[in-house]
Chains A and B, each alone.
Chain A
Amino acid sequence: MRFILGFIGAVFALAMTCSLFSGLSTYFSSPPTPLASDEFHREPKALHLASDGPFGNFKNQAQLQRGFQVYSEVCSACHSLKLVSFRDLKGIGYNDAEIKKIASDWKVQAPSINPETGEAATRKPLPSDTIPSPFANEVAARAANNNALPPDLSLITKAREGGAAYVYSLLTGFTKQEGYKNEKGEELLKKFPDAKTPPNLHFNPYFANLNIAMPPPLTTNGQVTYADGTPATVDQMAKDVSAFLAWSAEPNLASRNAAGWPVVLFLLIASILGYLAYQNIWHEAKRKVRVTGALDPQNQAKSRSAKAKQGIAG
């Protein structure tokens, strides 16, 4: 049986070897053409938020509320936030009365039915409703956006590599394609003249294929007017809305971190006490589990053979 199995192993190794050589010969005979998106794509910029790391929280509520303002005044024209209910906004510091007002003032009505006729109708949203979407369905969304579908933003920071930093970089990353250089100083359109951004798309090196359907959403300083007087620069608005979207993706993050520390501390103490109990119980058993140094069987064998070579007895 071992010969049959050995033969099977050799056949699989042969299949891999053939694949290896055919792959390599294809690579060297017709090397793959380099892609503009591989060489000119940029990793997200650094962004530091209060919600980062194991101590992360949502205490910076002024920023989260500013971010919600940017979402409701700018992003919500195209992007839904389907998984978030108005009542959830308590988590960024609004009180019940404010939430009620935000809900009833929302510019899109909640779908409903006419109680008399049963026909489709709309009504003012309630705090218990999820935030109504700007478009009734995907077809309507595509029809209004050059056939591109604006993604739902509820989970966006968890659904993209780079998280909130990616959102921030994307929002501030729109730039002119002419003269754009990567970190190595190569110019995109000189190296890839065919990579010119097609009409209706917008150049953004933080987007995976460099050309995004979304037009720059945050274009001018003061596009929104912050109630707390913070200057609404494009950078500030992008930061704020990224912080808000980090909250919308993981509203339980603060309680998760807060619960994590006692759990870890408990387990730390439990393992220390458990370890001491273990030492105590094993004390009599003369535990010496690992054989090392002069007692290592390999070292013993080495010294034995060395002694034999030298002709020393023992």
Chain B
Amino acid sequence: MSFSWAKPYEPKTALGRWFDERLPLPRLAYGAVGGGYPVPRNLNYFWNFGVLAGVFLTIQIVTGIVLAMHYYATVDGAFNSVNQLIMRDVNAGWLLRYAHMNGASFFFIVTYIHIFRGLFYGSYKAPRELVWMLGLVIYLLMMATAFMGYVLPWGQMSYWGAQVITGFFSAFPLIGEPLRVWLLGGYAPDQAALTRFFSLHYLLPFVIAGVVILHIWALHIPGSSNPTGVDVKDEKDTLPFHPFYTAKDGWFAAAFLLIYCAVTFFAPNYLGHPDNYIPANPLATPAHIVPEWYFWPFYAILRSCTFNLFWIDAKLWGVLAMFGSILLLFFLPWLDKSPVRSGSYRPVFKRFFWILVVDVVILGYVGGAPLVWWRTALGQVASAYYFLHFLVILPIVSALETPLPLPSSISESVLHGEAEEAAPAGQTKRRGGSVATAIAE
């Protein structure tokens, strides 16, 4: 799309030409994920997770639509429709349900790796700010969808999770409580809440799919980033998406699905919580209310605020900190002013990046485990660091750091000049030869 050497779509048959003149859909696909999309040749395996996220979105939508055919969105019927009808009586219903349940977890695993890839390689920097921000919108929509999906089986954790999370809104002064009641359609999660959660849980994945299209569209304007962070200069620096990256994504997707299937078939409840196999009971609070693992870091930040500072009480601090911890990522392109994108060439940034990774893992651990004094303290230190990292350390580091010298081009960083020596003259005219020809020239 963006580079002058991108191969235009050429229909090979009369039918293809006829179709292309009337509806250039194959042309669109060719330019987006076919031979017409030039991609930097030096992408490493962290660049596979965007495609994988698309794979998991598809798995979730397909399994979800079939599950919805068997699910009853009523407070009396929901638990049994999942645990009796779907798990026992529907043909392969257990497979659909476990694939959907673990699909959500793996969708988040993939998305987290994708996000941290972006954080390390500076994928949020110009000219890809909108790609990053649309990605964050997708992530927020995923969180809303996952939360509402977890409520649907109407188990104990479903119910109490809904109670806690909608309770966030009541932290806001004046409008908070009416807002919460309005959102839930009642004073506590009940039939009204369950029905609207089901409706939204069905709607939002399609909204996600829509934003994914915008995300990819915005990405294809400048093209993919790459591990050196150096801009693409000429044809030597790129390879067509198909067949090179379809092949790389293809085998890696199969390998990753292997892990997903192993968990889905052999330990389907490993990532879940036993309490959700107890039917929802508004009169019995579980001993430890915890959300699903992918929310643990944010849950830790929420629980870290226990002190009424200034005129804001602890609960509101917690809610503000939790929402703030995600919203601050929207400002990242302007917080990190370093002209160098890739963390590989930023020795100081790199160290802080890994501290952040450890910090988020600690937050996840603290958020998922029962509260003990030292764990709370650890969570508070980690939460404070999280904010300092993005809002204080990152701007300072980006202003003061001296980056390492960058390679002058992507092809130089990858080929180190040996391609010119190694490519015999006869090879330059071969089929996949856009590379070889370019080098020979």
Q: A residues engaging B (CB < 8 A)?
A: 1-2, 5-6, 8-10, 12-20, 22-24, 27, 32, 53-54, 83, 88, 151, 154-155, 158-161, 208, 249, 251-252, 256-257, 259-260, 263-264, 267-268, 270-271, 273-275, 277-278, 281-282, 284-291, 295, 297-298, 300-301
Cβ-closest chain A residue relative to B431 = A284
Instruction: Give the chain A neighbours of B413 by CB distance below 8 A.
Output: 291, 297
* Interface contact tally, CB-CB below 8 A: 208
Residue B145 lies at the interface, judged by CB distance under 8 Å to chain A: no
Complex interface bits, B365-401 against A, C-beta within 8 A gives 1, otherwise 0 = 0000000010011001101110110111001000000
B248 to chain A, nearest CB (A): 5
Q: Is the interface of B mostly helix, strand, loop or mixed?
A: helix
The list of the 9 closest CB pairs from A to B, nearest first, reads: A9-B391, A260-B265, A274-B251, A159-B277, A16-B384, A54-B266, A271-B254, A267-B258, A20-B380
In contact, A5 and B380 (Cβ under 8 angstroms): no
Provide the bound-state CA to CA distance between A18 and B385, in Å: 14
Our pick among B265, B305, B317, B416 for the contact of A259 (Cβ within 8 Å) is B265
Instruction: Give the chain B neighbours of A83 by CB distance below 8 A.
Output: 80, 83-84, 88
Q: Can you list 16 A-B pairs, Cβ within 8 angstroms, ordered by A?
A: A2-B335, A5-B328, A12-B383, A16-B321, A20-B384, A23-B307, A53-B266, A54-B267, A83-B83, A256-B94, A257-B265, A264-B261, A278-B250, A284-B430, A287-B41, A289-B227
In contact, A298 and B404 (Cβ under 8 angstroms): yes
In contact, A17 and B384 (Cβ under 8 angstroms): yes
A277 in contact with B244 given A2-B395, A10-B392 (CB within 8 Å): no
A289 in contact with B44 given A83-B80, A159-B278, A251-B88 (CB within 8 Å): yes
A275 in contact with B405 given A1-B334, A8-B391, A281-B243 (CB within 8 Å): no
Instruction: Give the chain B neighbours of A12 by CB distance below 8 A.
Output: 320-321, 324, 383-384, 387, 391
B114 to chain A, nearest CB (A): 18
Provide the bound-state CA to CA distance between A71 and B285, in Å: 28
Instruction: Give the chain A neighbours of B225 by CB distance below 8 A.
Output: none
Instruction: Give the chain B neighbours of A300 by CB distance below 8 A.
Output: 405
Residue B274 lies at the interface, judged by CB distance under 8 Å to chain A: yes
Instruction: Give the chain B neighbours of A286 by CB distance below 8 A.
Output: 414-415, 418-419, 422, 435
In contact, B415 and A288 (Cβ under 8 angstroms): yes
Cβ-closest chain A residue relative to B399 = A2
A285 in contact with B321 given A23-B376, A297-B404, A301-B404 (CB within 8 Å): no
Complex interface bits, B255-278 against A, C-beta within 8 A gives 1, otherwise 0 = 101100110111111000011011
Provide the bound-state CA to CA distance between A28 and B264, in Å: 45
Cβ-closest chain A residue relative to B430 = A284
Which B residues between 190 and 241 are near A, CB-CB below 8 angstroms?
Answer: 227, 239
A20 in contact with B257 given A271-B251, A282-B247 (CB within 8 Å): no
Instruction: Give the chain B neighbours of A268 by CB distance below 8 A.
Output: 258
Our pick among A154, A264, A284 for the contact of B262 (Cβ within 8 Å) is A264
Provide the bound-state CA to CA distance between A255 and B38, in Å: 45
Provide the bound-state CA to CA distance between A310 and B106, in Å: 52
Residue B436 lies at the interface, judged by CB distance under 8 Å to chain A: yes
In contact, B277 and A158 (Cβ under 8 angstroms): yes
Instruction: Give the chain B neighbours of A301 by CB distance below 8 A.
Output: 404-405
In contact, B266 and A257 (Cβ under 8 angstroms): yes
Cβ-closest chain A residue relative to B324 = A12
In contact, A22 and B306 (Cβ under 8 angstroms): yes
A16 in contact with B257 given A10-B391, A10-B392, A278-B247 (CB within 8 Å): no
Provide the bound-state CA to CA distance between A291 and B266, in Å: 38
In contact, A278 and B414 (Cβ under 8 angstroms): no
In contact, B265 and A285 (Cβ under 8 angstroms): no
Instruction: Give the chain A neighbours of B404 by CB distance below 8 A.
Output: 297-298, 301
B253 to chain A, nearest CB (A): 8
In contact, A252 and B94 (Cβ under 8 angstroms): yes
Provide the bound-state CA to CA distance between A22 and B309, in Å: 11
Extra inter-chain contacts (19) besides given A9-B390, A286-B414, CB under 8 Å: A6-B395, A10-B388, A13-B387, A14-B309, A16-B381, A54-B265, A155-B83, A158-B274, A159-B277, A161-B274, A252-B87, A257-B266, A259-B95, A263-B261, A267-B261, A271-B251, A284-B432, A285-B41, A289-B227
In contact, A20 and B262 (Cβ under 8 angstroms): no
In contact, A18 and B307 (Cβ under 8 angstroms): yes
Instruction: Give the chain B neighbours of A88 by CB distance below 8 A.
Output: 88
A247 to chain B, nearest CB (A): 12
Provide the bound-state CA to CA distance between A5 and B360, in Å: 20
In contact, B277 and A15 (Cβ under 8 angstroms): no
Our pick among A159, A282, A298 for the contact of B244 (Cβ within 8 Å) is A282
Cβ-closest chain A residue relative to B342 = A297
